[in-house]
Chains A and B, each alone.
Chain A
Amino acid sequence: MTGTFRREISDALANPNLGGALTRFSEAYRTSRAKAYEGVDFESLRARIAEIKGGAAGRYPELVARFREQAEKRGAKVFLADGPEKVRAYILDLAKRSGVKKVVKSKSMASEEIHLNKALQEAGVDVRETDLGEWIIQLAGQKPSHMVMPAIHLTKEEVAGIFSKEVHERVSSEIPRLVKVARHELRERFLEADMGISGANIAVAETGSLVIVTNEGNARLVTTLPRIHVAIVGLEKLVPAFSDIVPILKALPRSATSQLLTSYVSIITGAAENTDGSPKELHIVLMDHRRSEMAGDPVFKEALQCIRCASCLNVCPVYRLVGGHVFGDVYTGGIGTILTAWTGALERSKEIQGLCIQCGSCVEVCPGKIDIPELIVEVRRRQVKEQGQPFVQKAIFKVVNDRRLFHGVLRAASLAQKPFEKDGLIRHLPMFLSGLAEHRSLPAVAEVPFRDEVRGIAQPKGDRKVAFYAGCLIDFAYPGTGRSVVEVLNRAGVEVVFPDAQTCCGAPARYSGAYDVAAQNAIDNIRAFDGLEVEAIVSACPTCTAALKHEFIAALRSEGRSDWLAKAQALAEKAVDFSSYVTRLVAEGRLTIPEGKALAAVTYHDSCHLKRTLHVTKEPRELLAKAGLPLVEMDEADMCCGMGGSYSVKFPEISAPILGRKLANVRKTGAGTVAMDCPGCLMQIRGGLDKESSPIGVRHLADLLAERLGGR
């Protein structure tokens, strides 16, 4: 990561307007989006969109041909351009040939992608953005910081300053007044322009139609008043049938702006009439710019299902802190990271891909059903494959990849940290590590790891047997939680075995794009658990459980180790998270949790992988209820705590404010304890609360249950 990028991040974080505006927005968005989707079956709607757009991505040549035939039959000219240069050349040539002096534009991300304004201006053409947000950033000489609300990063005072310069008089910062200035200033531009340039939200092959969705009404003027209309349309906008517009028109306004429908939807099919009665000169530029290549890529084809609603930005814990000028290029946020890797500057894409914390919030809301974090990890994987890993990372994974060496290092660390340790937490670190512990205390590496301790636990020989997958954090930092897991399961008559050869689940390597390391971790673990006569493999770490259930398979597949897939599949079928397994035991009547009376209230934090990868949310809450622990829900219970594995080490400056927000939401509940299922979240949240000397207890659910069962 370059120093410049680090500085961009710290500047964005230090800008109170930015963080304030984005955070208020993301808070309001959650509620307003839910309201807009009331009565709509979102899952089936997005399945339909994914089917339509995914299907279209497999047949662009055919859809282009059909679109061209239909649109040209109705008087349009259709030009297929393979890249930005061709698009710019076509439009510049057209402008020159037709004597175009003035252009008005409605919002088009495709035109931003190819930096069209710059090219037009250099050719002496006066080009005006007319979407309010786009006009503001054009006047300010900036890039959009959000795909739907390009100027969301600016305050009304800043906008007033920008407008004052443009109209050469002092403009008040009242928003209705600012909007009037735009209406007044741009009205004349619409009327005098020779060419209107727009994008399109959908292009229908069956009919040759363009569908344009707007709120301000500028697109209607851009496509009506100038005698020439040019529409720039990325191939991913193509859908086969006219009826395919219905699900997209249902989802796009709801996801983008929480509206049931935008103020205007225009469907343009061929050349309509000009205001002087002549037929409109309509040029439709279909832009490929690597979309066909993406469509041929088994992983990235999915990204073409995007409808550009930007909901992945609106729910992103990182975007709302740093905004789109840091987290993005032309396209911003999660999907922007993927699009930048394909259509933007390579160097930029290398920097921004690291910003995704892999919390999966965007996956839940994406109307195109795109697994954005997964695709970002794939961007990382390919970059690592091409250039190798950064030196330090490589050295670390070399250690992690050798279990004996790795565990030896951890044991050595337990001794080395002694001078800094107090009550099991490290509050101060030597200078070179201090960035890691500034906003939270870190757990001390346990003196006796769980792998050693487990041998001394006398277990009942039950009729049921499970294997325990501890994961590094429980094994080496929180062995007490491992003890709790064993105690709870023993209480149900379940014997717990601990295969010694188990090692890191590979998540750190995988999230860093080092799939070869992750695949080797997977193989080592499969070997460790192979042949055990157990009914389940239980883990009390959701990240580890997600690895056992899904990511071993993904890493092996990606590395071409298909020889291990059958065994990985068998392991995945047995893997289960602690809460789900205990819920099963309770349902079978094998375990009764004594219901405490008048216990202090608890609040529950949903860990990213537990909720969004394993889809477990009810189970831990029901177990808390069974134990008689009154639950007070916190705001944004399922928002990431900022840990993200090594993310908190790579971007401590981003991790800290995400944690700060989580802690504030915990405090607001008034609960004396915050419970969770993930030792990573526990490390982050406990470290944060310790740093502020909070009396709030931070407990793994296994520890709470073991306590209720009277173990401790």
Chain B
Amino acid sequence: MAGARGTMISSGMFETFRARAEAVSGEVHRVASDAAAADFLAGFLESEGVADRPGSRAVCAATPGLAGVRPEQLAAKIPGLTLDVDRKSAAESRVGISAVDFGLADTGTVVQDASSVPLRLVSTLPEIHVALLRTGAILPDLEALLPRLDPSRSPYLSFITGPSRTADIERVLTIGVHGPVRLVVLCVDGPAAAAEGAPS
């Protein structure tokens, strides 16, 4: 019973998360399984014209827990996708992929322990940041998140809400200043959320 209820809350939470993230120009997708996530990524990279030349490459921070996606399998399939993240590869890439740890429904935010440098490089330098998020890791808000953060173990925590933006010239909202021009959040239903059935 508790499980069923948890699933329901999570579904409502996902919808709120999606609505809030989209309200700040974030893009949100949801897939039912790890396999579907890998397929989505492959399709996405292809449709974005990722290829093995400067400016068209993709980088993936292959940290553990990448929502079950096997990055090396993906890299083998997609020319131009590298797991070797450094300043140069990230700066030359059009797409950066990384896993995030939590979502916050009420603001459409993703939260990441970004202490590992590749995680920051792939989410700052490329024009598109694809963030992989377990659907079940979406929490209601900052209050719910706080007890799960431990700054003493995470020297660099990042909250990301939509793409980079500015309104510094005549107050006109413009997307994409120094950070990514697009933020694509891929919510992957894990084993816990799979019981819920087909995702929307």
Residue among A151, A183, A271 with most chain B CB within 10 A: A183
Chain A interface size band reads 35 or more
B177 interface residue per 8 A CB criterion: yes
Whether B170 pairs with A216 at a CB distance below 8 angstroms is no
Known interface pairs A21-B170, A74-B152, A270-B155. Does A183 touch B87 (Cβ–Cβ under 8 Å)?
A: no
Q: Which of A272-280, A387-395, A586-594 contacts B (4 or more CB under 8 A)?
A: A272-280
Contact A149–B171 (Cβ < 8 Å)? yes
Please report which residues of chain B, range 70-115, place their CB below 8 angstroms from some CB of chain A when the two chains form the complex: 86-87, 91, 104, 106-109, 115
A583, CB-defined interface residue at 8 Å: no
Tell me which residues across on chain A come within 8 A of B140, comparing CB atoms: none
Residue B55 CB within 8 A of the other chain? no
A599 within 8 A of B: no
Write the B109-127 contact mask toward A (1 if CB under 8 angstroms, else 0): 1000001110011011100
* A262 pairs with B161, CB closer than 8 A: yes
A654 at the interface (CB under 8 A from B): no
Tell me whether B107 and A267 are in contact (CB under 8 A).
Answer: no
Q: Is B154 an interface residue (CB 8 A)?
A: yes
Q: Is B53 an interface residue (CB 8 A)?
A: no
Q: What residue of chain A has the Cβ atom nearest to residue B124's Cβ?
A: A220
A186 interfacial contact with B, CB 8 Å: yes
**Contact between chains at A191 and B171 (CB < 8 Å):** no
Contact A250 B166 (CB under 8 A): no
Mark out the residues of chain B between 163 and 191 whose CB falls within 8 Å of any chain A CB in the assembled complex: 163-172, 174, 176-180
Q: Give chain B residues whose Cβ lies under 8 Å from the Cβ of A266.
A: 156-159
Cross-interface CB contact of B156 among A136, A187, A215, A267, cutoff 8 Å? A267
Q: What is the distance, in angstroms, from B149's C-beta to the closest C-beta of chain A?
A: 8
Task: Give bound CA distance, A190 to B125, whole Å.
Answer: 10
Distance, CA A149 to CA B171, complexed state (A): 8
Chain B contacts with A in 6-55, Cβ cutoff 8 A? 20, 24
A24 vs B170: C-alpha distance when bound (angstroms): 10
Structural contact, B161 and A220, CB atoms closer than 8 A:
no
Closest to B154 in A: A269
* B151 at the A interface (CB under 8 A): yes
How close is B68's CB to chain A, nearest CB, in angstroms?
26
Task: Point out the residues of chain B lying under 8 angstroms from A277, CB to CB.
Answer: 117
Which of B109, B164, B169, B172 counts the most A-chain CB atoms under 10 A from its CB?
A: B169
Cβ of B162 within 8 Å of any chain A Cβ, yes or no, is: yes
A454 adjacent to chain B (CB < 8 Å)? no
Query: A298 interface residue, CB < 8 Å from B?
Result: no
How close is B56's CB to chain A, nearest CB, in angstroms?
A: 17
Query: Within 8 Å of chain A (Cβ to Cβ): is B2?
Result: no
Pairwise interchain contact A217-B143, C-beta atoms closer than 8 A? no
Contact A179 B174 (CB under 8 A): yes
Could you tell me if B178 and A183 are in contact, using CB atoms closer than 8 angstroms? yes
- Residue B160 is within 8 A (CB to CB) of chain A in the complex: yes
Scoring B161, B168, B169, B176 by chain A CB atoms within 10 A of each residue's CB, the highest score goes to B168
Q: Let me know if B179 and A263 touch, CB within 8 A.
A: yes
Indicate if A242 sits at the interface (CB-CB under 8 A): yes
What is the CB-to-nearest-CB distance from B118 to chain A, in angstroms, rounded to a whole number? 9
B-chain residues with CB within 8 Å of residue A176 when the two chains form the complex: 174
Partner of A215, one of B108, B115, B154, B164: B164
Which A202-241 residues have C-beta < 8 A from chain B?
204, 207, 209, 215-218, 220-221, 223-225
A151 to B169, CA, bound (A): 7
Q: Tell whether, in the assembled complex, residue B178 and residue A25 are in contact, meaning their CB atoms are under 8 Å apart.
A: no
Contact B20 A242 (CB under 8 A): no
Task: Report yes or no: A190 in contact with B178, Cβ–Cβ below 8 A.
Answer: yes
Determine if A263 and B160 form an interchain contact, defined as CB atoms under 8 angstroms apart: yes
With a cutoff of 8 Å between Cβ atoms, the chain A residues found around residue B149 in the complex are 242, 267
Q: Which A residues lie within 8 Å of B87 (CB)? A: 191, 225, 275
Kindly state whether residue B142 has any CB partner on chain A within 8 Å.
Answer: yes
Whether B1 sits at the interface, judged by CB under 8 Å, is no
* B167–A149 touching, CB < 8 Å: yes
Query: Do residues A216 and B166 form an inter-chain contact, with CB atoms below 8 A?
Result: yes
* In contact, A217 and B178 (Cβ under 8 angstroms): yes
Partner of A151, one of B142, B158, B164, B168: B168
Interface centre among A131, A154, A262, by most chain B C-beta atoms within 10 angstroms, is A262
A260 within 8 A of B: yes
Q: Which residue of B lies closest to A242 (CB)?
A: B151
Q: Which residues does chain A contribute within 8 Å of B174, judged by CB atoms? A: 175-176, 179
B91 touches A191 (CB 8 A): yes
Residues from chain B with Cβ under 8 Å of A493 in the complex? none
Residues of A166-201 at the interface with B, using a CB-CB cut-off of 8 Å, are 175-176, 178-179, 182-183, 186-187, 190-191
Given contacts A273-B117, A275-B87, contact A152 B171 (CB under 8 A): yes
Contact B151 A132 (CB under 8 A): no
Chain A residue nearest to B121 (CB atoms) is: A275
Closest chain-A Cβ to B94's Cβ sits at a distance in Å of: 14
Query: Which residues on B sit within 8 Å (CB–CB) of A25?
Result: 171
B146 at the interface (CB under 8 A from A): yes
A133 within 8 Å of B (CB atoms)? yes
Contacts of A204 in B (CB 8 A): 151
The residue in chain B whose Cβ has the minimal distance to the Cβ of A186 is B178
Q: Which residues of chain B are near A337, meaning CB under 8 Å?
A: none
Q: Is the beta-carbon distance between B170 and A264 smaller than 8 angstroms?
A: no
Q: Are B169 and A175 in contact (CB under 8 A)?
A: yes
Docked pose: A272 CA to B143 CA in angstroms: 25
A260-B121 CB under 8 A given contacts A178-B169, A183-B177, A216-B178: no
Task: Tell whether A349 is near chain B: CB-to-CB under 8 Å.
Answer: no
B20 and A260 contacting across the interface, CB-CB below 8 Å: yes
Instruction: Name the distance in Å between A70's Cβ and chain B's nearest Cβ.
Output: 8
Nearest 5 pairs of A and B residues by beta carbon: A217-B179, A133-B168, A265-B159, A272-B155, A217-B164
- Name B residues whose Cβ lies closer than 8 Å to a Cβ of A: 20, 24, 86-87, 91, 104, 106-109, 115-117, 120-121, 123-125, 142-143, 146, 149, 151-152, 154-172, 174, 176-180
Can you list 5 A-B contacts with CB-CB less than 8 angstroms, sorted by A residue number? Answer: A149-B168, A191-B91, A207-B151, A264-B160, A269-B154
Beyond contacts A28-B171, A133-B168, A266-B158: 5 other A-B pairs, Cβ-Cβ < 8 A, are A25-B171, A175-B174, A204-B151, A215-B164, A242-B146
